Amino acid sequence: MFNYLKLLSECGINSEFISFEDLKIKRKSLNSFSSSKESQFKLKINDGNNTNIQANTVHLHIHINKQKTPGEKKSKLFKKYLLENIFLKDQFETIKRDSEYKNEPDYKVILKEFKKEFYVKCNFRSYLYNGFYDWGRIDQLNEFKRFFKSSEIPTYFAFGLSGTPEDPGNLYLVPGENVSPKMKIEDLEKWEISSFKDVMRVILD
């Protein structure tokens, strides 16, 4: 639960009672407060006579521009690459999935010509780790497997390797049932893609 008293304290407000003038002064501080997500809370207003006017509350919506981690930035760039170079609008419809769970696909994709639906999970790695494409842990894969079983639509993993997220050296589209947390490069080669034709080969196989 969000601790608004801690927030007020860090902004130099030592009470949950605050005047309108204080509120105006502190608004800038409140909006610069760093938090992981948007927070909403109520401030009780002091009318100047130490009377708690509970009926008069101020609702502050604090929109925080959270600084993205390097991994999050890479993920965003890689997804952008896929949408602009692989899953082109002429051939595909892509629907972003705003799931609260990390271990679920990022997009639902529809191949327009065949009305073929599938999910895509995106992952980029700059290099192999100890000779493996190490994208996750066994518990993460198990979470995905639970998702596979609950859905009739197949899931594919879009793996980018080397180069940069916005221009990966290698790209693979691996069916969910063929994925393991650590994959040898020879296990990925069958699923390497670079064009619309390659995507068709994988998803219509």
Write out pLDDT tens, residues 49-76: 444 434 344 444 434 445 778 889 999 9
Are 171 and 159 a contacting pair, CB within 8 Å? yes
Write out pLDDT tens, residues 153-169: 999 999 999 999 999 99
The answer to whether the pTM exceeds 0.75 is no
**Which tokens go with 38?**
């948007």
SS3 49: coil
Report the percent of the chain where pLDDT is more than 90: 58
Q: How far apart are CA 203 and CA 109, in angstroms?
A: 11
Taken as a whole, the chain contains a residue count of 205
Average pLDDT, the chain: 78
Band (114; pLDDT cuts 50, 70, 90): very high
Domain boundaries, the chain: 4-62, 70-203
Are 145 and 159 a contacting pair, CB within 8 Å? no
Options 3.20.20.80, 3.30.1330.30, 3.40.1350.10, 1.20.1090.10; CATH of 70-203: 3.40.1350.10
Q: How far apart are CA 66 and CA 163, in angstroms?
A: 27
